[in-house]
Amino acid sequence: MIVVSQAIEPGVHPGRPPHIHVKVFVADGRELLTTQMYFAGSERSGDVQAAADLLVPYLGLDEQGRQRIAFDFVVKP
């Protein structure tokens, strides 16, 4: 399934790098995963260094001048 979403890039939280929380659900409504995504520029954070696979690179601007990202969530049964 492809999901396209828009969000405002989060600011710095005290003691934490900017991040967005993500929840993944199955069709019947059960929650499979709760995680977060970190953004380029946060590489020195201990949180990001401990979970580097959650760092989302910027892909460039779209035609409206918005920054693009892509992230694949893989949930194994």
> 3-state DSSP: the chain helix, strand, coil percent, rounded to 5?
10, 30, 60
- pLDDT given for residue 32 in this prediction: 87
How far, in Å, are 5, 7, 21, 58 from residue 32 at the CA level?
19, 22, 14, 26
pTM of the model: 0.75
Give the residue with greater pLDDT, 62 vs 77.
62
pLDDT of residue 22: 87
Residue carrying structure tokens 């969530």: 73
What is residue 29's DSSP assignment? S
To the nearest whole number, what is the mean pLDDT of the chain?
86
What pLDDT was estimated at residue 53? Answer: 92
pLDDT tens per residue across span 18-52? 998 888 888 898 898 898 899 888 999 999 999 99
